[in-house]
């Protein structure tokens, strides 16, 4: 690996200008980088089969043990998408997640696309609550002002460490577009290159803390050799070993605090000479941290009365598993789309599979179950759309098959066939309420405000005319449906037919 200039100095939070410190050479030092990404509000462990896995409460115990072992040489980072994803976090707009991060002692995080989900005003409040900086070097206002800090320089043990944060350029289509009005997401690689060139002479170790996905991290490593380490997020990638590209180490720890990423660098005589890398699984064998559990208990108490209310029953298991709702029709996708169509009286309904985040069990269903399925603050919207634009939307929906795609549409009031082997013309035989689609006919389409505003890249839906912005939260419409019907049965399927 490369040689570095050595320096010692105090923590410096950086906007665009750097304040330079005195230089000094350090020999025989080490840096331990602990990292998480895509935690999505998992403050405590979650069930997977018979196992209890992940969660920040147990992860905090491991962090404390490692700090006791390595002392001041430890840096704790997060790669974004932390403050949204579970009821105890969502319904308090991320406040509970930030309180837990403060208690654990995070040193920095970068902004993930879902960290924008509550809008810019709330995000700024969470930044003020945090005892650590949130970084996003490539996010500015339209007049060029940074949304937050671009980078920081922090003294970690004997080493001076630079950290650059960059966020996904896809953010405007993976959060609600209204959440990022007036913001510009610049090319993260170009911005990281510019900042890295400024930081490199002033630090011993240079880290990019990214929320751009593993494939983009590979490009970043190749384009910015000034870096030593890329701590990534966004793609939920589980990298058991560090991936080395041109001397730059890329790490990522999967999702939901399933693992704590561990990377120990050895620095000697002005050179990174060796490293140790592993993922530490967060399992039920680890005792939860008492302080984090106490914080969680306070927030959970506030939720309990409302979320524990039983609103109805199901007669079958409703499938909302990530891999399924993003690649095929599911009975839960059908149910939600049917509820949307019934609530609005629209001709058809469409909703993105990426907005469905969990399944519903057979049996009693609570408000909390439905909120877990639909955690986003999406409202029910009706647009008027031509058959031609609707067909284009369906084609866009299936364009990535067989890969998972958060924009894959679950539908109601229509059926169509798909041949994945015909790119650009995969969709055919579209029928709306038992009649063939007519290109020039206008149809009313119930959807969520995220898609209606062009979310998930559905620019074609913006060709539609808004008929109704109900202001009703989609999850609350579903709750009301359960309350009205009591027992909810499986809707008719066979809406999306795949041809081999």
Task: Name which of 93, 131, 96, 100 is nearest 114 in CA terms.
Answer: 93
Q: Is residue 172 part of a domain?
A: yes
Q: Do both 338 and 433 map to the same domain?
A: yes
d(CA 352, CA 268): 51
pLDDT band (50, 70, 90) for residue 421: confident
275 and 403 belong to one structural domain: no
List the domain range (segments joined by +) for residue 237: 12-300
What's the CA gap between 261 and 263, in Å, rounded? 7
Using one digit for the tens of pLDDT, what is the confidence trace for 143-152?
Answer: 999 999 999 9
Q: Per the domain annotation, does 2 fall within a domain?
A: no
- The CATH number that applies at residue 26 is 3.60.21.10
Is cis: bond before 402, omega within 30 of 0? yes
- Give the SS3 label for residue 191: helix
253: three-class secondary structure by DSSP: strand
| 284 belongs to a structural domain | yes
Q: Model-level pTM greater than 0.85?
A: no
Q: What sign for the dihedral angle of Cα 279, 51, 58, 171?
A: positive
Q: For residue 204, tell me if it sits in a domain.
A: yes
Of 300, 328, 360, the domain-final residue = 300
Residues 275 and 321 in one domain: no
Q: Select from 300, 325, 353 the last residue of a domain.
A: 300
Residues 292 and 321 in one domain: no
Q: Does residue 135 fall inside a structural domain?
A: yes
The alpha carbon of 235 is separated from its chain's Cα centroid by a whole number of angstroms, namely: 8
| 316 plus 272 within the same structural domain | no
Q: List the single range of 5-19, 85-99, 178-192, 390-404 with lowest mean pLDDT.
A: 5-19
* Maximum separation of any 2 CA atoms in the chain, in Å: 77
Question: Do 106 and 202 belong to one domain?
Answer: yes
Q: Which two tokens stand for residue 330?
A: 């599911």
Q: Is residue 4 part of a domain?
A: no
Within a domain: 386: yes
- Predicted pLDDT at 270: 59
Q: How far apart are CA 126 and CA 419, in angstroms?
A: 46
167 or 2, greater pLDDT: 167
- Rounded CA-CA distance 250/243 in Å is 5
- In a shared domain, residues 352 and 440: yes
Same domain for 177 and 242, yes or no, is: yes
Query: pLDDT tens digits for 345-379?
Result: 999 999 999 999 999 999 999 999 999 999 887 88
Q: Is 432 part of any domain?
A: yes
Final residue belonging to a domain, choices 270, 300, 330: 300
SS3 state of residue 322: helix
Are 113 and 152 part of one and the same domain? yes
Give the other-Cβ count within 10 Å of 56's Cβ.
31
Whether residue 288 sits in one domain with residue 318:
no
- What CATH number did the domain enclosing 368 receive? 3.90.780.10
What digits encode the pLDDT tens for the residues 48-102? 889 999 999 999 999 999 999 999 999 999 999 999 988 899 888 999 999 999 9
If one counts the domains in the chain, the total is: 2
Same domain, 339 and 192: no
Reference 447, options 402, 486, 403, 394; nearest CA is 394
Task: Identify which of 129, 66, 119, 124 has the alpha carbon closest to the alpha carbon of residue 97.
Answer: 129
- Please tell me the distance from the alpha carbon of residue 53 to that of residue 259, in angstroms, as a whole number: 9
Same domain, 283 and 350: no
């Amino acid at each position: 690996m490369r040689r570095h200039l050595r320096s010692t100095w105090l923590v410096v939070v950086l906007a665009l200008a750097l304040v330079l410190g005195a230089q000094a050479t350090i020999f025989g030092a080490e840096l331990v980088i602990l990292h998480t990404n895509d935690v999505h509000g998992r403050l405590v462990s979650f069930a997977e089969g018979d196992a209890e896995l992940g969660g920040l409460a147990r992860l905090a115990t491991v962090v404390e043990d490692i700090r006791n072992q390595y002392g001041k040489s430890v840096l704790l980072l997060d790669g974004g998408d932390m403050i949204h994803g579970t009821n105890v976090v969502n319904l308090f707009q991320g406040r509970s997640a930030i309180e837990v991060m403060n208690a654990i002692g995070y040193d920095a995080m970068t902004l993930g696309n879902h960290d924008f989900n509550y809008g810019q005003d709330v995000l700024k409040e969470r930044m003020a609550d945090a005892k650590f900086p949130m970084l996003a070097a490539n996010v500015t206002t339209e007049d060029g002002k940074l949304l937050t800090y671009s980078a920081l320089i922090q003294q970690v043990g004997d080493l001076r460490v630079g950290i650059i944060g960059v966020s996904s350029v896809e953010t405007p289509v993976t959060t609600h577009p209204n959440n990022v009005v007036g913001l510009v997401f610049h090319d993260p690689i170009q911005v990281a290159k510019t900042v890295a060139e400024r930081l490199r002479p002033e630090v011993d170790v240079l880290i990019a803390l990214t929320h751009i996905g593993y494939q983009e991290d590979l490009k970043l490593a190749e384009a910015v050799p000034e870096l030593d380490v890329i701590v990534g997020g966004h793609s939920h990638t589980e990298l058991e070993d560090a991936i080395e590209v041109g001397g730059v180490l890329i790490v990522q720890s999967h999702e939901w605090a399933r693992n704590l990423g561990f990377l120990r660098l050895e620095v000697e005589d002005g050179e990174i000479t060796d490293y140790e890398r592993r993922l530490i699984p967060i399992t039920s064998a680890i005792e939860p941290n008492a302080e984090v559990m106490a914080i969680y208990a306070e927030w959970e108490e506030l939720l309990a009365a409302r979320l524990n209310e039983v609103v109805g029953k199901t007669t079958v298991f409703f499938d909302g598993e990530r891999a399924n709702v993003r690649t095929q029709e599911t009975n839960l996708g059908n149910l939600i789309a049917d509820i949307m169509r019934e609530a609005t009286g629209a001709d058809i309904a469409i909703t993105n599979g990426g907005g469905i985040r969990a399944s519903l069990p057979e049996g009693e269903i609570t408000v909390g179950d439905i909120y877990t399925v639909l955690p986003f603050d999406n409202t029910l919207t009706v647009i008027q759309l031509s058959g031609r634009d609707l067909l284009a939307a369906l084609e866009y929906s299936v364009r990535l098959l067989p890969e998972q795609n958060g924009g894959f549409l679950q539908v109601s009031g229509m059926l169509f066939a798909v041949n994945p082997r015909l790119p650009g013309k995969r969709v055919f035989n579209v029928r709306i309420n038992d009649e063939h689609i007519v290109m020039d006919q206008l149809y009313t389409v119930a959807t969520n405000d995220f898609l209606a505003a062009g979310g998930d890249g559905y620019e074609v839906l913006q060709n539609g005319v808004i008929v109704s912005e109900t202001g009703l939260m989609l999850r609350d419409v579903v709750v009301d449906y359960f309350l009205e019907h009591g027992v909810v049965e499986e809707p008719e399927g066979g809406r999306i037919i795949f041809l081999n």
